[in-house]
Every structure is written in structure tokens, then in C-alpha cells.
């Protein structure tokens, strides 16, 4: 697929500036190193896309750790790095180290656009009218091989109960604009599990990357929510003319599958009250 855009899609690295362990047990920087080691055989990569929740504490130091890890890996392969904001990211630290929260880059005739779906202090996502106006203006100029939109909150229904109040609110205007603007692929994270689906009847494929930090157990029976140790990534090929292909790849470790958290209905309700969407 020499005429394809080849994407290493990462998400939810949840790094700390001081190297603390996520949930007190997961070395997320170590997990990122393991993911990149697993992906090292990918010598032909055009873009490394990281779809939000880059940091857990929002510190400039956490973003510097991420940049110092990813940028050299991508540079060895001649790939651009695209960073998107997530609900755990903080604007000041992100902008200080990584630059603008919404970006546009052209790669091999494809355009990659980031949309910041984060809402300060919240876990859910939303796209403002001003953002839609900017996106409309950008998409009014066609890209040779089409556009890839990167955001943190997937514009599709969640699989598990925890993410229902933490979903992307009212994604329809965004999806309508994407459907009419030559968008060929939407990349997201947030759910902490791999998912390939279609966006709201638009025909646009959505790829949700596995998380680096941990893995949501999609088979855990509601009303509980469980995450386990495990890290992975998506490897995506988007031809100039043809269907997208996505592979979900694990970066295994000996303790994979151990419980990171197990939330009951009351704990999930508290998270919804603290950070979820309210009409």
C-alpha cells in the first residue's frame, strides 16, 4: 500500500510529570516504552497519532516526558506526530510543550485535523459552535486524498456503563459536517479498548485505539466497570482510494489481565456526578 497513509494510533497514555504510578500500580511510561518496542518493526509510518489523555496530572513535565519519548521514535521513521487533547489534559501544560490544541497537518496528500473535545473540569466531551465554524472553513478546501479527524471522545455510543455520562455530547453536527466535508476516517480514544465502527450512519469509519495505561474489560457485567493491566495500539492503513484497514495490537506483559480497578454502581454514580454530562 505505497499510496496509503500509515498511522500508528496511540491513546490514553496518562503520564505523570514525576513518574508516579497510575492508580498506584501502573507504570504508564514503561507501558508506552513497551508499546513502542512492540511497534518498532513498523519501519514505514507516516503519522503517530495520540488521541488524548496524554497526561494524568496535566503538568508540563508530563508532556515533556511524552514528547521526549515519541518524537525521536517518529523521527527515525520520518513520521509526523499529532497530539490531541483529552479530558485529563490541561490546556496550559499541553500548549506550553506541545503547541496549539487544534492543529492541521498534510501528509502524503492526506490532511489530519485535531478537534479539542475536552471541557475543562469535566469528563465528557463537547464541540462548540466556534470549533464547528473553524472545521467548516478548513473542510471547505478539499484535501487531495481526504481528511482524517482526530479527537478524544468517540462520536459513537460507549460500550460500557462508566462512559455513558462521559460520552461526546451531541455529536450529530460534527458528524454531519464530516460527512459533507470529505472526512474519510475519525480516530479517537477515551474508552480504553479497541473499537472499529461507523459514525452515526455517515459511512465514516471510527477507530478507537486501545489505551496505553490500562484496558477496559468490555465483558465485565454491568452495573460494574472493570479495567485490567494491558497496553496496545492500532495500526491503520488508509489508501488514497479504497477502504481503511485497522489492526488492534497488544504489547503484552507478564501481569496483563490483573485488575486495575473494579467499580460498583455507586462509584460510577459518583464519577457521573463529579464529571459527567448534565442537561
Residue 142 has pLDDT above 80, yes or no: yes
What is the C-alpha to C-alpha distance for residues 13 and 55, in angstroms, rounded to an integer?
A: 7
- Terminal-to-terminal C-alpha distance of the chain: 46
Count of CB atoms situated within 10 Å of the CB of 130 = 8
Count: domains in the chain: 1
Cell reading at 252: 503484552
- 113 exposure class (CB count in 10 Å sphere: 0-12, 13-18, 19+): buried
CATH number, domain of 90, equals: 3.60.21.10
Rounded Cα distance between 22 and 15, Å, is 8
Extract the C-alpha cell encoding 52: 488524548
Question: What is the distance between the alpha carbons of residues 171 and 125, in angstroms, rounded to a whole number?
Answer: 9
Of 148, 90, 67, 79, whose CA–CA distance to 114 is shortest? 148
Query: In the block, which residue shows the cell 456526578?
Result: 273
Contact, 48 vs 80, CB < 8 A? yes
The candidate with the shortest Cα–Cα distance to 84, out of 69, 109, 99, 102, is 102
64 band by pLDDT with thresholds 50, 70 and 90: very high
Task: Identify the band that residue 1 occupies on the pLDDT scale cut at 50, 70 and 90.
Answer: very low
Give me the domain span that covers residue 71. Answer: 4-275
As given in the structure block, the three cell numbers for residue 91 are 490546556
Read off the pLDDT of residues 86-128 as tens digits, 9 standing for 90 and up.
Answer: 999 999 999 999 999 999 999 999 999 999 999 999 999 999 9
Report cis status (omega within 30 of 0) of the bond before 223. Answer: yes
> The C-alpha cell of 192 is what?
480504553
pTM over 0.85: yes
2 pLDDT tier (thresholds 50, 70, 90): low
Amino acid at each position: 500500500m505505497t499510496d496509503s497513509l500509515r498511522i500508528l494510533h496511540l491513546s490514553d497514555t496518562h503520564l505523570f510529570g514525576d513518574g508516579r504510578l497510575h492508580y498506584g500500580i501502573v507504570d504508564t511510561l514503561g507501558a508506552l516504552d513497551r508499546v513502542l518496542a512492540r511497534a518498532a518493526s513498523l519501519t514505514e509510518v507516516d503519522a503517530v497519532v495520540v488521541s488524548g489523555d496524554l497526561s494524568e496530572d496535566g503538568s508540563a513535565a508530563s508532556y515533556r516526558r511524552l514528547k521526549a519519548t515519541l518524537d525521536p521514535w517518529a523521527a527515525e521513521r520520518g513520521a509526523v506526530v499529532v497530539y490531541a487533547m483529552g479530558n485529563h489534559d490541561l490546556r496550559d501544560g499541553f500548549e506550553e510543550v506541545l503547541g496549539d490544541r487544534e492543529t492541521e497537518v498534510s501528509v502524503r496528500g492526506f490532511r489530519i485535523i485535531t478537534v479539542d473535545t475536552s471541557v475543562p473540569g469535566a469528563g465528557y466531551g463537547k464541540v462548540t459552535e466556534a470549533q464547528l465554524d473553524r472545521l467548516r472553513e478548513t473542510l471547505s478546501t478539499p484535501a487531495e486524498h481526504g481528511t482524517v479527524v482526530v479527537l478524544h471522545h468517540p462520536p459513537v455510543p460507549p460500550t460500557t456503563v462508566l462512559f455513558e455520562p462521559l460520552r461526546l455530547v451531541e455529536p450529530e453536527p460534527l458528524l454531519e459536517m464530516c460527512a459533507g466535508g470529505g472526512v474519510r476516517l475519525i480516530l479517537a480514544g477515551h474508552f480504553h479498548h479497541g473499537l472499529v465502527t461507523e459514525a452515526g450512519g455517515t459511512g465514516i469509519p471510527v477507530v478507537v485505539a486501545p489505551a496505553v495505561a490500562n484496558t477496559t474489560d468490555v465483558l465485565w457485567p454491568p452495573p460494574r466497570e472493570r479495567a485490567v493491566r494491558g497496553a496496545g495500539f492500532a495500526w491503520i492503513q488508509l489508501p488514497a482510494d479504497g477502504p481503511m484497514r485497522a489492526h488492534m495490537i497488544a504489547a503484552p506483559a507478564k501481569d496483563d489481565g490483573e485488575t486495575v480497578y473494579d467499580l460498583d454502581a455507586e462509584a460510577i454514580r459518583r464519577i457521573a456526578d463529579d464529571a459527567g454530562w448534565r442537561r
